[in-house]
Structure 1
Amino acid sequence: MPTTVLLPRWLIPIEPRRVLTEHALIIENDQIAAILPAAEALQRYASAEIVHLPDHALLPGLINLHAHSAMTLLRGYADDLALMTWLNNHIWPAEGKHVSVGFVYDGSALAIAEMIAGGTTCANDMYFHHGAVARAAIEGHFRMMVGCSILEFPTPYANNAQDYIDKALSCIDEYRGEKLVGFTLAPHAPYTVSDETFRLVIEHADALGIGLHCHIHETQDEIDASLKNHGMRPLERLDGLGLLQQKLVAAHMVHTTDAEIALLAQQGVNVSHNPASNLKLASGFARIADQVAAGINVGIGTDGAASNNKLDMFAELRLAALVAKAQSSNPEALPAWQALEMATIHGAKALGWQDRIGSLAVGKQADLIAVNLASAGTQPCYDPVSHLVYAADRTQVSDVWIAGQPVYRQHAHVGAFAATALARAHHWQKQIQETHA
């Protein structure tokens, strides 16, 4: 790849908290080679490709810390329902009929196309047919942490917990060494995984040196059921099993006591806050301001498009900041800088990738987005960070680079990957509608 000089109006490295003007960022191969004054860059790199971004903020790509990418093909399939009704009566039956390698690849590809166009360059996924997710990420040139779902009950993908684990381990071995893809073991939730399976999953994750990903404390019903079946709340049970540790991403964490927040902070657990999904499923209001104040590393996720119904990290950014203020009765809770850090460097830390992505620094991977703030809705611009959180939307993302490669230029996808994904989505819509007519 040729050396590229990016000349934005504002350059926002995230770490440290500052906004640079009249600066350039240099991409060489897949890395950030330099950040320096624009005049010096133009002189030093006179023969490089120059990309002018005169009305744009340049910042790290956003990191979606909790997603079910393939479920994008079930967007709008079942709405306005409680979580367990939604799962038991609609989503799981539909998945039982349709989930296959083709479904997972095509759904993941569609999600990747949507996320790239919205400024997301990395997602922490959780689903089945992990090789199909990995292949979609590689072919879409998207950074993906592939979560290998593990449950006790049979699905079209696996027969029992051991079968899920075996397939996960095989896939992890197959894709070892891929630069854009990593893996976690993802026990689905406390109510779908036994103590024995949790212990086995932790043992394998420790042996492989990989992370863990689990839905925890999403609803009050989950907690009530745990008290009935185990005599304790889910977090207490999981702590006893050894799941609460620095390499765990705990999705949702809506219902937490003061003692549980302190426990999460003490154990170094990472939390994925998914405000839109929590609201749509009426799961509740997570105490994010309290969790952040306690020192917990909190990132932001969309959850799946079947429960959101969009993979829009700019919408999640704004919602996270607003809900935190209302929930805590504190207008100073989760200010714009903090929200933007949650969607970038905090997500990277949660995945153990903070040395690669999440901020703009020399030597890091060139996962970058340019956001055009010239439109009426983001003018005048006194503070670009404020606008990115409270005013801008995903349609203002103009350019995206992942590992130094342009994948979205001047509001258009590069290559045929996105167009093919869209065509396949129409195919699946017809098939699913005919099956459930």
Structure 2
Amino acid sequence: MSAAPLDLLLLPTWLVPVEPAGVVLHEYGLGIRDGRIALLAPRAEALKQPALEVRELPGRLLTPGLVNAHGHAAMTLFRGLADDLPLMTWLQEHIWPAEAKWVDEDFIRDGTELAIAEQLKGGITCFSDMYFFPAATSELVHKSGIRAQITIPVLDFPIPGARDADEALRKGLELFDDLKQHPRLKVAFGPHAPYTVSDDKLENIRMLAEELDAGIHMHVQETAFEVQQSLELHGARPLARLARLGLLGPRFQAVHMTQVDDADLALLVDSNSSVIHCPESNLKLASGFCPVERLWQAGVNVAIGTDGAASNNDLDLLGETRTAALLAKAVAGSATALDAHRALRMATLNGARALGLDTQIGSLEPGKLADLTAFDLSGLAQQPVYDPVSQLIYASGRNCVEHVWVAGKSLLDGGRLTRLDEQRIVANACAWGAKIAGRA
């Protein structure tokens, strides 16, 4: 009995599977059936397979969908609100007061929809979100068709949507139960940072994460001040304190890590924890430099995130990856540090691994979900193409993103969103901007 026809056959000029590493396939076809990659074969062989739709993609590079491993989606509505300030001033004097005043479920819905639209247009098929009212965020993810890890925000003080950490965790467990069978949504715990969450709450989160096999996503060692403060209050660096409490491990996602000494590196390696690098936010807030090449060479899984649009100020993961590649060379003092192929891996398979999704997404392998991005490399600024991955990382922008599929479903077609109303989203964002600025 012959196999069912492919739902879609894509025929790009170049295809980068990411796994195996460093490979570029020229004139190959990728077939999709039931939302998964069913075929990867040379063009002539692929065309022999019956397919309901065949899509020619000349001059296009097909890659796994980009994975934005850290952000605060709804903070798009605070984009540009408090620029050019150090982290703690930015947080304590501007962002936290603005959140207390403005953040409600409507804010979350409109800001998250703006973030999802921006990310899809930038080739992102999966993102991790760490913000308030996670149930409202999950509704937008469900409707939009994108994939996401939604984290339960936990702090020691009241936050929008929860009077205390206990209420935040209770609501989070309800959401975990509601979404445990969802095909595109994964729930994790999001304790904000070591300096905002007490030991007893962290121990509770560790216990729940183990019980539910859930990730723990946390800002860690973002600044030198945070490390110094932890040494004074706890007698240990933040990562060592988290290790003592049992939080580190394959499910742990350490965001930022601009401050890394030998003991930190050993803890990350021994625990198999992931690091999520957010170079542009770290640069803008003058927080420090994550030693990406050193981590990578030691065997640490390093993924990449944009952080929120309030401190970046965009959700452009391709641009973030270029910055990461260039910065890694300067920090390591080596032009060979974080080459283009490894940078793309950081933005795809490494991100998937950090979020516990690497068996499903992050590389173009038969059996994996068809989360894909097609980039147009036919433009003036990309010529001539010697290595399409180098051209993607060093010579292209998110304006080159042409098509996006999640589980085989088209969410961006020819640069146009298929499920979201871009004009309405922009109008909503402008209305929020006028209100927050006091011009309503």
Same fold, judged at TM 0.5 (above): yes
Report the counterpart of residue 404 of structure 2 in structure 1.
Answer: 400
Between the aligned partners of 1:196 and 1:419, the Cα distance in structure 2 is 46
Report the counterpart of residue 23 of structure 1 in structure 2.
Answer: 28
Report the counterpart of residue 37 of structure 1 in structure 2.
Answer: 42
Q: 1:66: how far off?
A: 0.6
Between the aligned partners of 1:222 and 1:256, the Cα distance in structure 2 is 12
Between the aligned partners of 2:79 and 2:280, the Cα distance in structure 1 is 14
Helix, strand or coil at the partner of 2:396: coil
Between the aligned partners of 1:203 and 1:105, the Cα distance in structure 2 is 31
Structure 1: state its 5+ residue gaps.
Answer: none
Deviation per CA, 1:186-231, whole angstroms, max 9, x where unpaired?
1100000000000001111111111110000000111111111112
Deviation per CA, 1:66-85, whole angstroms, max 9, x where unpaired?
11001111000110001010
Between the aligned partners of 1:177 and 1:113, the Cα distance in structure 2 is 25
Between the aligned partners of 1:324 and 1:38, the Cα distance in structure 2 is 37
Query: Please, which moves more after superposition, 66-75 or 409-418?
Result: 409-418
Aligned partner (choices 352, 357, 361) of residue 353 of structure 1 = 357
Between the aligned partners of 1:100 and 1:313, the Cα distance in structure 2 is 27
Between the aligned partners of 2:425 and 2:252, the Cα distance in structure 1 is 31
Query: How many residues get paired?
Result: 435
Between the aligned partners of 1:2 and 1:402, the Cα distance in structure 2 is 16
| 1:108 alignment partner AA | T
Report the counterpart of residue 75 of structure 2 in structure 1.
Answer: 71
Report the counterpart of residue 214 of structure 2 in structure 1.
Answer: 210
Instruction: Kindly indicate whether residue 116 of structure 2 is the aligned counterpart of residue 112 of structure 1.
Output: yes
Instruction: Kindly indicate whether residue 285 of structure 2 is the aligned counterpart of residue 295 of structure 1.
Output: no
Instruction: Kindly indicate whether residue 55 of structure 2 is the aligned counterpart of residue 51 of structure 1.
Output: yes
Between the aligned partners of 1:128 and 1:6, the Cα distance in structure 2 is 39
Report the counterpart of residue 232 of structure 1 in structure 2.
Answer: 236
Aligned partner (choices 137, 141, 144) of residue 145 of structure 2 = 141
Matches within 5 A, 1:147-158: 147-158=151-162
Aligned partner (choices 405, 425, 431) of residue 435 of structure 2 = 431
Between the aligned partners of 1:428 and 1:136, the Cα distance in structure 2 is 18
Contact kept in structure 2, 1:109 and 1:418, CA below 8 Å: no
Q: 1:155: how far off?
A: 2.2
Between the aligned partners of 1:258 and 1:228, the Cα distance in structure 2 is 20
Helix, strand or coil at the partner of 2:131: coil
| 1:34 alignment partner AA | L
Identity, % of aligned pairs?
Answer: 46
Q: 1:269: how far off?
A: 0.7
Deviation per CA, 1:301-327, whole angstroms, max 9, x where unpaired?
000000000000111111111101101
Between the aligned partners of 1:327 and 1:289, the Cα distance in structure 2 is 8
Q: 1:236: how far off?
A: 1.3
Deviation per CA, 1:359-378, whole angstroms, max 9, x where unpaired?
00111111000000011111
Between the aligned partners of 1:347 and 1:44, the Cα distance in structure 2 is 32
Q: Name the TM-score, length of structure 1 as normaliser.
A: 0.97
Report the counterpart of residue 160 of structure 1 in structure 2.
Answer: 164
Q: 1:427: how far off?
A: 2.0
Q: Name the TM-score, length of structure 2 as normaliser.
A: 0.97
Helix, strand or coil at the partner of 1:44: coil
Helix, strand or coil at the partner of 1:146: strand
Report the counterpart of residue 197 of structure 2 in structure 1.
Answer: 193
Instruction: Kindly indicate whether residue 341 of structure 2 is the aligned counterpart of residue 333 of structure 1.
Output: no
Between the aligned partners of 1:143 and 1:297, the Cα distance in structure 2 is 21
| 1:93 alignment partner AA | P
| 1:20 alignment partner AA | L
Between the aligned partners of 1:187 and 1:143, the Cα distance in structure 2 is 21
Contact kept in structure 2, 1:30 and 1:403, CA below 8 Å: yes
Aligned partner (choices 167, 172, 176) of residue 176 of structure 2 = 172
| 1:318 alignment partner AA | R
Report the counterpart of residue 14 of structure 2 in structure 1.
Answer: 10
Q: 1:172: how far off?
A: 1.4
Structure 2: state its 5+ residue gaps.
Answer: none
Contact kept in structure 1, 2:265 and 2:295, CA below 8 Å: yes
Contact kept in structure 2, 1:115 and 1:311, CA below 8 Å: yes
Q: 1:2: how far off?
A: 7.3
What is the alpha-carbon root mean square deviation over aligned residues? 1.3
Between the aligned partners of 2:388 and 2:308, the Cα distance in structure 1 is 29
Helix, strand or coil at the partner of 1:63: strand
Between the aligned partners of 1:185 and 1:292, the Cα distance in structure 2 is 25
Instruction: Kindly indicate whether residue 328 of structure 2 is the aligned counterpart of residue 324 of structure 1.
Output: yes
Between the aligned partners of 2:25 and 2:313, the Cα distance in structure 1 is 35
